[in-house]
Amino acid sequence: MTDYSSEKKHSENRVSLSLSDSFLESDVALVALDSANVGIWIMDAVSGQFLPSKRTKELFGFTPDQQLSFEQAMGCVEEPQRRQVLKAVENAIGNRTGLYIECPVYHTGDQKQRWLSITGGFSSAGKGESYFSGIVIDITEQKQNEMRRSKFIGMVSHELKTPLTALKAYVQLLSNWAKKQKDNFTIGALSKVEKQVKKMLSMINGLLSLSGAEAGKIHLTRQQFSMSELIEEVIGETMFLTATHQIIMVPCDKITVNADRDKIEQVLVNLLSNAAKYSGNDLPIEISCTIKNKFAEVAVRDQGMGVSPEDVRKLFQPHYRVERQETEKIGGFGIGLYLCSEIVKRHGGKIWVESEKGRGSTFKFTIPI
């Protein structure tokens, strides 16, 4: 019968030996990591043996001389993020992929909440041995700034939305009155006012959605609906706001999905509006929907300026906008695609873009049927 303590000690020695052969035991590297307040950790992919540095222990609320197991570290992570972190680590180890997560940690010592970013990946120590290792960084200040900004945006957006909603109602009343009077000039002027009010409300709703997304508060109200019917409705609404483009609906499969209709509508409006903004006038925009592997796949194709490979990787990040000469006069906060991404992910789908600079873009997203 194998002695467990002996086997555990052998495992620890094997891990420590591997570490000594790597850069982690380098005095220069350790000094650099300590000065940057970065913790390091390593885990045996087979035995699960966890070996944290002194700084890693401190970041999880332990003293440098205390033992810290993986289970103890995860016990410090607050719910519901703990389940998400465990699942992310399990998937990364099982699929041998990279790991990046942000999570709140409660310190039993000073009884304060801290936010940590945990990054990891696989490395080989030879002889068929592989280790899952990475770094831990304290991002509490960054997270607190993000939450303050999100709260401020949500508060200001909500205050702006109330008078705009009233303004929209009065514009509609005046428009109805002008139609009865057959005053064509007033009808045309009020139509333009209503169009701008709708744009402002759309931007404010986008900011409110951003505030909710950053706080992890995208709530879904699922219902059964026809995707093709929703697309037709959105095309009609978008045509009212972007009359300079022809939107063509490619014959779609009859697909009924169980999703949040309003949220999916928001995704479609954002993608079509985005295609119109970055395409020349009179260039057609195509939208299609198909079934692929029990997923509904929607594609929005434009013939605009396209996206370079370096921009593609950042398009779905919050507040990111492509900065080049052709986009200088195009308005926006850089939140539309980020919101689309968060909504689609919340539904269990994915979103991506296929593009070539100067030859247009095709934005696609999927949601489970």
Identity of residue 17: L
Mean pLDDT of 105-117: 80
Task: List the single range of 50-64, 95-109, 145-159 with lowest mean pLDDT.
Answer: 145-159
End of a domain among 107, 138, 169? Answer: 138
- Identify which of 168-172, 205-209, 284-288 has the greatest average pLDDT: 284-288
End of a domain among 214, 248, 275? Answer: 214
- pLDDT band at 80; cut points 50, 70, 90: confident
Identity of residue 250: V
Say yes or no: 131 and 163 in one domain: no
Say yes or no: 209 and 93 in one domain: no
Say yes or no: 322 and 286 in one domain: yes
Residue 350 has pLDDT above 90, yes or no: yes
- Structural domain of residue 255, as residue ranges? 222-368
Residue 51 has pLDDT above 80, yes or no: yes
Say yes or no: 232 and 319 in one domain: yes
End of a domain among 186, 214, 242? Answer: 214
Residue whose C-alpha is closest to residue 287's, from 219, 216, 231: 231
Say yes or no: 153 and 113 in one domain: no
Say yes or no: 102 and 58 in one domain: yes
pLDDT score recorded for residue 207: 65
pLDDT score recorded for residue 234: 87
Residue 355 sits in a domain whose CATH number is 3.30.565.10
Mean pLDDT of 30-56: 77
Say yes or no: 36 and 162 in one domain: no
Task: List the single range of 71-75, 164-168, 178-182 with lowest mean pLDDT.
Answer: 164-168
Number of Cβ within 10 Å of residue 348's Cβ equals 11
Higher per-residue confidence, 43 vs 238:
43
Say yes or no: 21 and 124 in one domain: yes
Task: Work out how many domains the chain is built from and give that number.
Answer: 3
pLDDT score recorded for residue 163: 80
Say yes or no: 166 and 59 in one domain: no
Strands 247-249 and 285-292: parallel
Say yes or no: 331 and 289 in one domain: yes
Residue 28 sits in a domain whose CATH number is 3.30.450.20
304 neighbors 360 (Cβ within 8 angstroms):
yes
Enumerate residues 6+ apart whose C-beta is below 8 A from 2.
Answer: none
Say yes or no: 277 and 323 in one domain: yes
Dump pLDDT digits (tens) for 142-154: 888 877 777 776 6
- Helices 184-214 and 140-181 cross at an angle (nearest 10°) of 160
Identity of residue 65: D
Dump pLDDT digits (tens) for 291-340: 988 899 999 999 888 887 777 777 887 766 665 555 444 555 567 788 88
Residue 174 sits in a domain whose CATH number is 1.10.287
Q: What is the DSSP string of 326-357?
A: GGTT----S-HHHHHHHHHHHTT-EEEEEE-T
Say yes or no: 242 and 343 in one domain: yes
Strands (E), 45-145: 50-52, 99-106, 113-126, 129-138
Residue 358 has pLDDT above 60, yes or no: yes
Mean pLDDT of 243-249: 78
